[in-house]
Structure 1
């Protein structure tokens, strides 16, 4: 079963500079443009737009890449 996150959830993930911590901004459930790239997503395979606390940058991750804090 796919992990589900909600807007405002605090999460951590691995980034190029090590571990990042931030907030879920949005669940993406259809193909769209986000964080500067094309995101392939569906209701069965969502992705999540997150914002880093440290850099303020936004990224999109699959649920298996995120850990709820």
Structure 2
């Protein structure tokens, strides 16, 4: 899956609390243990670590859940 996100990009995603925005801090392209669970990642299907703008919360999402803000 092609993505056009880079570290430093400002993105937004839908959460239980509504739309949230933040900045991409890392791009994972290999499987990673995150908050006690394994997240499947690859070059073709990476996951993005994002720090929320409003809180210090860090989330991880696939490209399909994100859009540039």
Give the structure-1-normalised TM-score: 0.90
**How far has the Cα of 1:41 moved from its partner?**
0.3
Note the residue ranges of structure 2 that are not aligned, 5 or more in a row: none
TM-align CA RMSD:
1.1
Partner of 1:43: 43
2: CA distance, partners of 1:8 / 1:24 = 5
Once the two structures are superposed, the pairs formed by residues 2-41 of structure 1 within 5 Å of their partners are 2-34=2-34, 36=35, 37-41=37-41
- For residues 5-34 of structure 1, the C-alpha deviation after alignment (integer angstroms, 9 at most, x for no partner) is 111100000011000010000110000123
1:58 corresponds to 2:65: no
Q: How many residues align?
A: 68
2: CA distance, partners of 1:58 / 1:4 = 20
Superposed structure 1 runs of 4+ greater than 3 Å apart: none
Give the structure-2-normalised TM-score: 0.90
Note the residue ranges of structure 1 that are not aligned, 5 or more in a row: none
